[in-house]
Every structure is written in C-alpha cells, then in structure tokens.
Amino acid sequence: MSRLLSSFRKYDGAELHAKIPAENWGVTKDDLVTLKRRVWRAVRKGEIVPTDRDQFDPKDSVFGPAIYTINEQYIKPVTAKA
C-alpha cells in the first residue's frame, strides 16, 4: 500500500476548492476506470479482502467488492495518509 500511496500527488484541498469552480467538481469516466484498475490491483495483492458483510470472490473480475468494502479498505486508508 505504501507504494500505491506514493503514486498519488498531494494537493492542498482548501486551496483547490478556492481555485476550482464547483461546476468543475466531479468524477469522470477516466477517474472511474482508474479506480477500478487500482481496486483490482489491491484485490490481487490482498489489500482488499472479503468480509462477513461482503463475501466477494477475489478471482471474479465481473462482480467484485462492494463500494462499502472499497471505501473501508481502500479509499479511507489512502485518504488518511494523504
């Protein structure tokens, strides 16, 4: 995970919110494709694992972890270290 975290650029969130108009805040299709690729990489490496609430099959690339699992095991840790 540390290598993954080092691949993210760090920005000052407050500064960005001040500079970028609200109509430009959003998620693009490319953002979602990138997230999917990073999530599956984390699944393959065992960084995102099935839980009692989400018993996804790590070998199934069609139906993967629920967004709750992705949020708890991937997005929150990455955000906390940013």
Question: pTM for this structure?
Answer: 0.70
CA angle, 78 then 5 then 16, to 5°: 70
Return the pLDDT at 14: 83
pLDDT band at 26 (very low <50, low <70, confident <90, very high): confident
Asked whether the beta carbons of 69 and 56 are under 8 A apart, the reply is yes
Check whether 4 has a pLDDT greater than 60: no
